Structure 1
Amino acid sequence: MTIRALKSILFPTQKPKPSSLSTFSTSSPCNDQTPISTVVSVLTHQRSKSRWSNLRSLCPNGFNPKEFSQVVIHLKNNPHLVLRFFNWTKQKSLCQHDLLSYSTIIHILARGRLKGQAVILIQEAIRVSGSDDELESKPLKVFESLVKTYKQCGSAPFVFDLLIKACLESKKIDSSIKIVRMLLSRSIRPNYSTCNSFIRNVSQSHGAPEGYMIYREIFGLDCESREDNVRRIPSVRPKIETLNTLMVAFYQDGMVDKVKEIWDQIAELNCNPNSYSYSILMAAYCDEEKMDEAEALWEEMRAKNMDPDIMAYNTIFSGFCRIGEIEKAEKFFREMTMSGIESTSTTHEHILRGYCKTGNVDSALLVYKDMRGKDFRPDASTMVALIRGLCDKSRVLEALDIVRSAERHFGLHPTRKSFESLITGLCSEGNMEEALRLQAEMVSKGFKPSSEIYTAFISGYRKQGNLEMADKLKNEMLQTQVSV
């Protein structure tokens, strides 16, 4: 949408008033002494070293917000100078900035594409726009002020995208929803990247269904249900990135059927899925262990001459490793290596867990050593799988060595499940002293003994013929009613 169109929508009947910022008198006084034109001249024509000292002497009492706004609108084509002037007035306490002065400089920074600085000032404006008991209404006050000053500042629609971004970064999701809906009522739609970020944040905060409803509003997919007195938005086709955002939101909420529904809409909307789109749907199939469907998607992607990226490979690895088909995972790994794609920590973790699932702990150890060589930090679930795999093979001391090395090298402390596997293995081997030391360490880490720990010690003592200790622990377990 053009700036001219936006102005006509925001101000359809508004006429400039003599007191508006669009009309200046160059003799307008600063502190009833210095004309605005003189201040502008000092800022634009004097060197930076003398500029600020001269301004301070000309305007010792500083500026009120209206005077500040009048000055910077004359400098709107030099946003860097405007920002320096703003910072100077703040540092020297020469202006008690309010929504008017904040809105003016925000517009100027936005039209100058100084996005980061504009977002920071929007967040400052939100903080100063009211009392703390008006938290939800603060962003709306900033929105209203930006609308009022939009035309006079010669701004660009992008300023409202920055306002939405500032709200999202500040976790003011409900306020951002209201602002977007007010923009939509004026036929103003945020740009695609803002829409995607907005939908993602709404989905994470309020759930994927809410994000989907907002998506339909933004792209006018429910226009036919709107009342005639509300301006309708022309249908604009969403891009694949937006649909990917929706699929990820539903996937993260565990709503696999909705992921498939959005996938079907991709074709209906004449969008072309990309590698990321395929990866999301493949991940949904992999989680359901529907590897035939996942592999069919892979072949469809390759038939379209799409080169899978590391995310796609990691997704397919995870699926085959989850069901124990490590040979197929290895096949895809070789293909990935031949394609020149570098493996990641996630790649190694999937394969390591796959080897452990099939009982091939020697191969799992090789993968773990490779991870250490590449300084890839395994996550807790990967360490649990490796420790359990070694203990199941009666290689408890080897597993304990790996736990100690992981603590030294990665700062990884054993989890409850790792403690349980190690203690169970030690008791099974009759190494009760080491098991007791490890159990004491477990308690020191804040883990209370579970029924599995008690059962391991009871079984261990019985194997040693120490029935008295075994019965004592059994009674203790029943009395404390430990959790499983």
Structure 2
Amino acid sequence: MATQILKRSLLTRSYTPSRTQNLCFMFSTSPPPQDAPPTTTKISSAVSVLTHHRSKSRWSYLRSLWPDGFSPAEFFQIVIRIRNNAHLALRFFDFTRRHSLCEHNLESYAAIIHVLSRARLKGQACSLIKEAMRVSPVSEPVRVFEVLVKTYRQCDSAPFVFDLLIDSCLEVKKIDGAVEIARLLMSRGISPKVGTCNALIKCVSRFRGVLAGYEIYRELFGLGYAEAAENAKRVVRVRPNVQTFSTLMICFYRDGALDRVKELWNEMQNCSCAPNAYSYSMLMAVYCEEGEMVEAERVWNKMRTDGVEADLVAYNTIIGGFCKAGDVERAEEFFAEMESSGVECTCTTVEHLISGYCKIGDLDAAMLLYKDMHRKNFIPGELTIDAIVKGLCKKGRVHEALDIMKEAQGNLCLSPKLTSYVVLLRGLCEEGKMEDALKLQAEMVGRGFQPNLQVYSAFVDGYMKRGNSEMAERLRKEMQDAQVDGFSDTVRRWKPLMEINDTET
């Protein structure tokens, strides 16, 4: 429907003056400005050479006939006459640029962009649109839009060109220009394609915040603007699809607005938009985050009842939720179902299970899974290493935890978290291995982590167990001073303590 409206708006020639002004976006529909009237004979001859000469000879023949090249107006007329052969038009454009045979302006760019768009050559068209936005200081997105509108009828173009213009603006982060173009289209009764709307919503949410993305969503799809719509021209709008809602749900989820995810789910249902596995996964993730595993499993069962096949994201979501809740046995059941369904697990799947076993204190099972990760060439993340280190230290297996962390630093090139250093230091100090603890603390400082209250307390307790009350008292006093200063200048403070310790030992 949008395509038919746009073609009626831009291709019909029998307009009244007011109708012309409204449907052509309030821009002139006259031919592009010309530096000099194009020579009909020259244009016809060039078209004949392009269409009838062999591909190997046509380019040298063109250069021999017109060594001074073509004006932008001449190029425009040549291109629209060969518009049904988009690849030939593009080669001609590249030929004129390569041999400096035309000083291209926005109008000549518009001609080749229209030809490529109507041929659905998206990549090439977008590339030239981005170039067109750089050809002169005033070639901002809206200016390119104006020229494309002005040349639309002559080039017998397709509405797809304006979607490509919005996509290109988003690729080069000209978000305001993309929004303005979308509004200009809608003000004249045209809506961008739903895929373009989704891309615009996603980009605005990313760079302007999810609330701004949500407002654009409501504007693009005509939601909550009844009063404005009553005073404006009727817009033939596309309907949001499942990707639209999934885009917004993931943005709100990452922003921590879990209730808004549920609201969008209900809104999607009200729009009679069938959810897919990803949108089901988003709703499950919300309930998993809230610890409502009964509700999460209810969503899982509804997904299966509705005939939607669970994918990797869905399995990882429900497995991760049960592991976080400490119900690793139920997570293992879903893991077994996942494998029997032919869905291959990923590093994330195993990491969820490792974290779950660490949470319930089953370090042997966690270590078996950790070794299995190595066999599968999975690389664990810092959070997984941190969970294992914490779990092992809690069980008194400090040196085993230290080996795991060193392996992560060496073979896996991972940077340990501060919490990993803290639990290891506490464990070493509890065992009275102060020299090892000092070396690890020096490494921690070298990685940019400052000793905190927990680190000071661990060393104080460690020295007290060794009977070194003098060192413990010095550290206790330093800890009090550091609390006042906010633990600043820690490297300067700790270096003398290490030297004193070396002297005493």
TM-score by length of 1: 0.92
Q: Tell me, in whole angstroms, the C-alpha distance in 2 between the residues paired with 1:414 and 1:430.
A: 23
Q: Does 1:29 align with 2:31?
A: no
Residues 444-482 of structure 1, C-alpha deviations (whole Å, 9 max, x = no match) = 222222222221111111111111111122222222334
AA matched with 1:77: N
1:8 corresponds in structure 2 to 8
1:231 corresponds in structure 2 to 233
What secondary structure is seen at the aligned counterpart in 1 of 2:411? helix
2:249 corresponds in structure 1 to 247
2:285 corresponds in structure 1 to 283
Q: Tell me, in whole angstroms, the C-alpha distance in 2 between the residues paired with 1:422 and 1:227.
A: 63
> Which of 347, 362, 365 is the aligned partner of 1:363?
365
1:209 corresponds in structure 2 to 211
Do the aligned residues in 1 keep the contact of 2:2 with 2:236 (CA within 8 Å)?
no
Q: Which structure 2 residues correspond to residues 26-425 of structure 1 after superposition, within 5 A?
A: 28-29=38-39, 35-130=42-137, 138-222=140-224, 224-226=226-228, 228-234=230-236, 236-425=238-427
Do the aligned residues in 2 keep the contact of 1:406 with 1:412 (CA within 8 Å)?
yes
Q: Tell me, in whole angstroms, the C-alpha distance in 1 between the residues paired with 2:29 and 2:369.
A: 75
2:498 corresponds in structure 1 to none
Residue 364 of structure 1: CA displacement?
1.1
Q: Tell me, in whole angstroms, the C-alpha distance in 2 between the residues paired with 1:38 and 1:440.
A: 80
Do the aligned residues in 2 keep the contact of 1:106 with 1:121 (CA within 8 Å)?
yes
AA matched with 1:20: P
- For structure 1, the 5+ residue unaligned runs are 132-136
Q: Tell me, in whole angstroms, the C-alpha distance in 2 between the residues paired with 1:307 and 1:245.
A: 20
Shift in alpha-carbon separation, 1:124–1:234, aligned structure 2, 3 A: closer
1:20 corresponds in structure 2 to 31
Q: Tell me, in whole angstroms, the C-alpha distance in 2 between the residues paired with 1:118 and 1:236.
A: 24
Shift in alpha-carbon separation, 1:366–1:429, aligned structure 2, 3 A: same
After TM superposition, the runs of 4+ consecutive aligned structure 1 residues lying more than 6 A away are 15-19
Residue 88 of structure 1: CA displacement?
2.1
Do the aligned residues in 2 keep the contact of 1:391 with 1:425 (CA within 8 Å)?
yes
Residues 240-280 of structure 1, C-alpha deviations (whole Å, 9 max, x = no match) = 22222222222222221211111112222122222222111
Q: Tell me, in whole angstroms, the C-alpha distance in 1 between the residues paired with 2:73 and 2:145.
A: 18
Do the aligned residues in 1 keep the contact of 2:7 with 2:159 (CA within 8 Å)?
no
Residue 395 of structure 1: CA displacement?
1.1
Q: Tell me, in whole angstroms, the C-alpha distance in 2 between the residues paired with 1:56 and 1:483.
A: 75
Residue 85 of structure 1: CA displacement?
1.7
Residues 294-345 of structure 1, C-alpha deviations (whole Å, 9 max, x = no match) = 1111111122232211111111112111121111111111111111110011
Shift in alpha-carbon separation, 1:19–1:478, aligned structure 2, 3 A: closer
How high is the sequence identity, in percent, across the aligned residues? 53
Do the aligned residues in 2 keep the contact of 1:10 with 1:186 (CA within 8 Å)?
no
TM-score by length of 2: 0.88
Shift in alpha-carbon separation, 1:28–1:103, aligned structure 2, 3 A: closer
Residue 5 of structure 1: CA displacement?
3.2
AA matched with 1:42: V
Q: Tell me, in whole angstroms, the C-alpha distance in 2 between the residues paired with 1:21 and 1:448.
A: 66
Residue 224 of structure 1: CA displacement?
2.6
Residues 349-403 of structure 1, C-alpha deviations (whole Å, 9 max, x = no match) = 1111111111111111111112222222222111111111111111111112112
Q: Does 1:461 align with 2:468?
A: no
Residues 114-150 of structure 1, C-alpha deviations (whole Å, 9 max, x = no match) = 101111111111122425xxxxx81111111111111
Shift in alpha-carbon separation, 1:236–1:123, aligned structure 2, 3 A: closer
Do the aligned residues in 1 keep the contact of 2:2 with 2:237 (CA within 8 Å)?
no
Residues 82-126 of structure 1, C-alpha deviations (whole Å, 9 max, x = no match) = 222222222222222211111111111111111011111111111
What secondary structure is seen at the aligned counterpart in 2 of 1:127? coil
Shift in alpha-carbon separation, 1:371–1:483, aligned structure 2, 3 A: farther
- For structure 2, the 5+ residue unaligned runs are 489-505
Q: Number of matched residues?
A: 474
Do the aligned residues in 2 keep the contact of 1:129 with 1:142 (CA within 8 Å)?
no
Q: Tell me, in whole angstroms, the C-alpha distance in 2 between the residues paired with 1:211 and 1:311.
A: 24
Deviation larger for 227-236 or 84-93:
227-236
Do the aligned residues in 2 keep the contact of 1:64 with 1:95 (CA within 8 Å)?
yes
Q: Tell me, in whole angstroms, the C-alpha distance in 2 between the residues paired with 1:316 and 1:284.
A: 11
Aligned alpha-carbon RMSD (Å): 2.6
Do the aligned residues in 1 keep the contact of 2:126 with 2:168 (CA within 8 Å)?
yes
Shift in alpha-carbon separation, 1:19–1:6, aligned structure 2, 3 A: closer
Do the aligned residues in 2 keep the contact of 1:22 with 1:153 (CA within 8 Å)?
no
Q: Tell me, in whole angstroms, the C-alpha distance in 1 between the residues paired with 2:259 and 2:46.
A: 63
AA matched with 1:470: A
Do the aligned residues in 2 keep the contact of 1:21 with 1:70 (CA within 8 Å)?
no
Do the aligned residues in 1 keep the contact of 2:191 with 2:236 (CA within 8 Å)?
no
Q: Tell me, in whole angstroms, the C-alpha distance in 1 between the residues paired with 2:230 and 2:421.
A: 66
